[in-house]
Structure 1
Amino acid sequence: MKYIKFMTLSLLALMLAACGETESETKTPASAPVQQEVEEEEKVEEEASEEVIEEESPASATADPLYALNKANWSFKPIADAPSKVVLLTIDDAPDKRSLEMAKTLKALNAPAIFFINGHFVDTDEEKAVLKEIYDMGFAIGNHTQTHANLKSLSEEQQRVEIMKINETIEEITGEKPKFFRAPFGVNTDFSKALVKEQGMLLMNWTYGYDWEAKYQDADTLTDIMVNSEYLTEGANLLMHDRVWTAAALKGIVEGLRGKGYEMIDPATIQGVTID
């Protein structure tokens, strides 16, 4: 299929050092070479061309899943007769400064999303209350590690702490274990993959995102690129962050996507997870 060939060849232009610690930090542009871990996975995925995740995680699967993860480009394919013109919205580095505002915007728009949590943003009672409020609004909560470290630079025991500590914190705050995992910079290891699977989480990266690039750090340009990117395709997995400009652009992004006929995937309908 032309789409699959395009997305497979485009993966090297998409996976990048995406998440950061501050709003002012300079980011690697979207056209940067993919990291080594992703390159190694791509060799396998090129042979398969398109690998859709049909297996269930150790946790029981959603009763009637509608979408399956396609590891070839981290997008989602419809199951049976589910609508195909959809995207998944994700917010990384939550809940830093703008996550609650972004959750309220999405709630008003009836647009589901996953908020991926860093442990250093839920240190205080106030920060924990913000996470609980986002969860209580109905948004899915994902694991984005404790300190946003590159997992390949850590020992296996350090990786375990990075993944398990924030898992435990999220469960303490929300009463529910995370169902999704996204590694900082999109970099996973064999150990992290095994641990994520053991913990019943669905490992994912992303299809495209731009809000870490200097030229897209205002609402208008970010809205335009997120809605009109050449990488916007059916089932795309959209990466955004807790940033001032992303919060300002979010309403326009959702409305722009809907104006093109796209709707947002409810994380509860993704195969391999159960949303309580």
Structure 2
Amino acid sequence: MTKDQLFTRLSSKAAAVLTRRRALLAGTVAVASAGTAGVLAAVTGEEPVRPALPAAGPPAHRLAKPSAYRLQPLTGYGPPAAAPHKTLVRHEPFLKISGRGRTMVLTFDDGPDPRYTPHILDTLAEYDVRAMFFVCGEMAVDNQDLLARMADEGHIVGNHTWSHPLLTRLTRSRMRSEMERTSDVIEDAYGERPEWFRAPYGAWNRAAFQLGAELGMEPLAWSVDTLDWTTPGTRTIVGRVENGAAPGVVVLSHDAGGNRSQSVRALRDYLPQLLDSGYHITVPRRHYA
């Protein structure tokens, strides 16, 4: 190869790298302008948690009629997945989201289940609402099409371990395996590695927080538990959500792990009522320094 040919080849590679960097920068700017200016606040008794984590959603605006309010489709949750970032080791999970207006987050655990998850996704799509799904790897591996649909429709998929064990009884290596295998499946089906995780049964310990951070995930708990897994009746589930509704609330429900037909029917009841009451049902997104 002559010197001229070598120079031409190197120049072409440099131009390609520059083009990719410009594309990534443009994507980051577009994403940064898409969300509301909310912040997640962890409830801890030890020290404040930083950095602040904003919520994704539309800009706050005056509503002529609350029933006319619907979330606009999200454009993303942050910079591309390949962008480097440092995840802090938390001492407590995040419990709520707080920001402008009456924001709430709906979360669904243990799925996806082909019997119930599609109906939940249908209802969310009908009202143009985004939610979070904390999936178990052993369920996700056989239902990757549902994770792909979640990605297409703008939902966030989080890590709920592989087999839903009690983490506090696991060795560190077993715990890592439960979390890492699930992240791998999510990446394959959803297109990105998860940035959020939730401990089964809400049982956290230091190792869980440390391993979650090592895998690039933030811990999220909840502030309103529907206890739908006990199948208390559709009306009871609806009542728990409506009575617990307040700015910043994170609602825990389930889309798998048993008969979830009550959860499906309850969502169809309480979701339009929350929206008509002026609540913004949104999803959190990571803050990148």
2:141 maps to 1:100: no
Please report how far the alpha carbon of residue 122 of structure 1 lies from its aligned counterpart in structure 2 after TM superposition.
2.4
Partner residue, 1:195: 211
2:236 maps to 1:209: no
Match of 1:157 among 173, 180, 187: 173
- Measure the CA separation in 2 of the matches of 1:210 and 1:273: 32
SS in 1 for 2:119: helix
Please report how far the alpha carbon of residue 52 of structure 1 lies from its aligned counterpart in structure 2 after TM superposition.
4.9
**Unpaired stretches in structure 1, ≥5 consecutive residues:** 1-40, 64-68
Please report how far the alpha carbon of residue 74 of structure 1 lies from its aligned counterpart in structure 2 after TM superposition.
0.6
Match of 1:223 among 232, 238, 246: 238
Structure showing greater relative contact order (alpha-carbon pairs closer than 8 Å, 6 or more residues apart): 1
Partner residue, 1:235: 248
Would the aligned equivalents of 1:171 and 1:178 in 2 still touch at CA under 8 Å? Answer: yes
SS in 1 for 2:275: helix
What residue identity is the alignment partner of 1:238?
V
Q: Deviations over 1:72-110 (max 9, x none)?
A: 8711122xxxx2311011111110231121011101111
Structure 2 counterparts to residues 1-276 of structure 1, below 5 A: 45-46=44-45, 51-54=48-51, 62=78, 74-78=95-99, 83-96=100-113, 97-124=115-142, 127-212=143-228, 214=230, 217-229=232-244, 232-242=245-255, 243-267=260-284, 270-272=285-287
Q: 1:84 to 1:135 in 2, by over 3 A?
A: same
- Measure the CA separation in 1 of the matches of 2:269 and 2:288: 29
TM-score scaled by structure 1? 0.68
Q: 1:273 to 1:122 in 2, by over 3 A?
A: farther
SS in 2 for 1:249: helix
RMSD over aligned Cα atoms: 2.7
4+ residue runs over 4 A deviation: none
SS in 1 for 2:246: coil
How many corresponding residue pairs? 210
- Measure the CA separation in 2 of the matches of 1:116 and 1:249: 19
- Measure the CA separation in 1 of the matches of 2:46 and 2:179: 30
Please report how far the alpha carbon of residue 155 of structure 1 lies from its aligned counterpart in structure 2 after TM superposition.
0.2
- Measure the CA separation in 1 of the matches of 2:124 and 2:163: 26
Please report how far the alpha carbon of residue 55 of structure 1 lies from its aligned counterpart in structure 2 after TM superposition.
5.5
Partner residue, 1:28: none
Please report how far the alpha carbon of residue 136 of structure 1 lies from its aligned counterpart in structure 2 after TM superposition.
1.9
TM-score scaled by structure 2? 0.65
Please report how far the alpha carbon of residue 149 of structure 1 lies from its aligned counterpart in structure 2 after TM superposition.
0.4
- Measure the CA separation in 1 of the matches of 2:116 and 2:50: 32
What residue identity is the alignment partner of 1:266?
V
What residue identity is the alignment partner of 1:249?
A
- Measure the CA separation in 1 of the matches of 2:246 and 2:288: 23
Greater shift, 143-152 or 232-241, is seen at 232-241
Q: 1:265 to 1:236 in 2, by over 3 A?
A: same
Please report how far the alpha carbon of residue 53 of structure 1 lies from its aligned counterpart in structure 2 after TM superposition.
3.9
**Unpaired stretches in structure 2, ≥5 consecutive residues:** 1-41, 54-76, 80-89
Of all paired residues, the percent bearing the same amino acid is 26
- Measure the CA separation in 2 of the matches of 1:137 and 1:89: 15
Q: 1:148 to 1:104 in 2, by over 3 A?
A: same
Would the aligned equivalents of 1:202 and 1:272 in 2 still touch at CA under 8 Å? Answer: no
Q: 1:93 to 1:273 in 2, by over 3 A?
A: farther
